Structure 1
Amino acid sequence: MTARESRGPIVGLAAHLILVTALAVTAGVSAAGWLAATAYAVVLAVVLGAGLRRSGMRALGPANAVTLGRATLVGGVTALVVTSFTAPVPLPVLVTLVGVALALDGVDGQVARRTGSTTKLGARFDMEIDAFLVLVLSVYVAGTFGWWTIAMGAFRYVFVAASWVWPWLSAALPPRFSRKVVAAVQGVALVVATASLLPDVVASVVLAAALATLTWSFGRDVQWLRHEESRRRLVVARARVARRHEDRRQEGRRPVVLLPDPRRSPAPVNA
């Protein structure tokens, strides 16, 4: 798993194919579920390989290897969720895959810090896997609690799409512990709903509360980014005004050259 970048994503893809094939044999994953999960794995391998090349990393590293293993489990979850659209799936298998994937979420960060291998690619990789797992689980519980639960998984992708229209949304955000807590709340709420650990009414309240915290977190980040964009524009406007004043001041210092009046005839020259 810590092989060169050309092999790391391929190893992850092979592990995914083994897992999904095993689920097809033991858990009854449908052809649609197998294809959807495999498409996810292929896209993941391509994007991860491109990210490794852009960042100049020659190996995945131990932390990214853990995240890739977690991403493989998410592929298994995807296969089961897509299968659930047409046939029941074994809930213990689904909950086990989700539980292990969420448990490993805290491991890759610890490994990165202890091995000194923290990278921007690793942080982005971890975040995108979290977001996709939340999306898949929100789709699964929508069959029981209503399609409004998909908003929990769609928030991240709507935010990214909005940043294409308003590029200031893609600016770096300050690290906040509350953001991590809100993300953890989404995972816990979705696992509780997936495993049917609570009555449906109580689980609906838990999901609604989790969605409310997510809305608050995204709203606060958008407000902060908008405020920073307003400050940036103000600084740029002030710099333009100052540059114009400086240009006018420099023009005032230039010597004035008086050109001859073409209406006056030249003075006669004595022969």
Structure 2
Amino acid sequence: MPLFSNVSLLTQPKRLYSAAELLLGGLLLISVGKGLPLLMATPANWGVAIAFYTVISTLIMFFWPYGSLGWANRVTLARAVLVALVAGALADNTFIGAIGQWLAIAVFALLLDGVDGWIARRTKSHTPFGARFDMELDALLILLLCAGLLRLESLGLWVLLIGGMRYLFIAASWQFTWLSQPLFDSFRRKAVCVWQVVALLLALTPLTSHLIANLLAISALLSLTYSFGFDIWWLYRNAKRG
């Protein structure tokens, strides 16, 4: 079964199960959002959060070719709810007045990152879709943290490169197909990813000064640039050998 399938929903009755689960996820979004009145204080907050969740749900319905989502993907869907709330709180800058709650939601979403993978391994339900769903949520959350840091500390648009570099890499692979070749497993890549998240969270904490926030963000950007640069060099070298 391919990773992505564009089979019509009308030919997939089992998708009614996943549609019901996505609807429950929407209800979870509303329930959790109602419990965060400081973060979800305006119609704009709700509009952005619901829009994010709607887009994510639509993509799931389009790409998920099976019936029910399974427990691992349900946990990832719960993470999607939290990521949508993180996005919603950025509207009207309401997250600034409740930065502690906003960071707590982001950290909880990150902590759940290991839970869905653990469940997938325990239940032997690992799928390429689930891995991609998990990875794309991570990337989106990092980009949202960058947007929050831009607004909170006014560091400049360069901070968005931390979360946007992966998307630039993907866009470049459309033109240079050798960039889309598989990469080797790398501890360096994982370590840089962890530091990227840690640096952003530390930079966003209220106790961090503007100078330290700058230094943390710069360290994340430099380490990420090195990591991507090394991978690009490796892919280019292998493409030339081929």
Q: TM-score, with normalisation over the residues of structure 2?
A: 0.85
Matched, 1:70 2:79: yes
Which among 83, 88, 102 is matched to residue 94 of structure 1?
Answer: 102
Which consecutive unaligned segments of at least 5 residues does structure 1 have?
A: 233-271
Shift of 1:88: 4.1
Change in Cα spacing, 1:37 to 1:28, as seen in structure 2 (3 Å) is closer
Change in Cα spacing, 1:87 to 1:7, as seen in structure 2 (3 Å) is closer
In 1, the alpha carbon distance for the partners of 2:21 and 2:179 equals: 32
**2:171 matched residue in structure 1:** 161
Matched, 1:17 2:30: yes
**2:11 matched residue in structure 1:** none
Change in Cα spacing, 1:197 to 1:16, as seen in structure 2 (3 Å) is same
| 1:201-216 aligned within 5 A | 201-216=211-226
Matched, 1:103 2:115: no
**1:6 matched residue in structure 2:** 19
Note if contact 1:29-1:83 (Cα within 8 Å) is conserved in structure 2: no
Determine helix, strand or coil for the equivalent of 1:221.
Answer: helix
**1:227 matched residue in structure 2:** 237
Determine helix, strand or coil for the equivalent of 1:173.
Answer: coil
Q: Deviations over 1:7-33 (max 9, x none)?
A: 33332233223333443x443532222
Matched, 1:196 2:206: yes
Q: Deviations over 1:120-173 (max 9, x none)?
A: 111111110010001111011112133221111111111121122222222222
In 1, the alpha carbon distance for the partners of 2:156 and 2:182 equals: 34
**Per chain length, whose mean CA-contact separation is higher, i.e. which structure has more relative contact order (CA < 8 Å, sep 6+)?**
2
Note if contact 1:137-1:190 (Cα within 8 Å) is conserved in structure 2: yes
Give identity over the alignment, percent. 36
Q: Deviations over 1:44-74 (max 9, x none)?
A: 0011122212xxx322122211111111111
Determine helix, strand or coil for the equivalent of 2:19.
Answer: coil
| 1:32-181 aligned within 5 A | 32-53=44-65, 57-84=66-93, 88-143=96-151, 144=153, 145-181=155-191
In 2, the alpha carbon distance for the partners of 1:163 and 1:192 equals: 32
In 2, the alpha carbon distance for the partners of 1:29 and 1:100 equals: 21
CA RMSD between the two structures: 2.0
Change in Cα spacing, 1:171 to 1:10, as seen in structure 2 (3 Å) is farther
In 1, the alpha carbon distance for the partners of 2:235 and 2:184 equals: 10
Note if contact 2:200-2:217 (Cα within 8 Å) is conserved in structure 1: yes
In 2, the alpha carbon distance for the partners of 1:219 and 1:33 equals: 37
In 2, the alpha carbon distance for the partners of 1:209 and 1:185 equals: 9
Change in Cα spacing, 1:81 to 1:93, as seen in structure 2 (3 Å) is same
Q: When the two structures are aligned, how many residues end up with a matched partner?
A: 225
* Higher Cα Rg, which structure: 1
Note if contact 1:74-1:98 (Cα within 8 Å) is conserved in structure 2: yes
Shift of 1:225: 2.0
In 1, the alpha carbon distance for the partners of 2:86 and 2:120 equals: 25
Note if contact 1:9-1:46 (Cα within 8 Å) is conserved in structure 2: no
In 1, the alpha carbon distance for the partners of 2:236 and 2:115 equals: 34
AA partner of residue 135 (structure 2): M
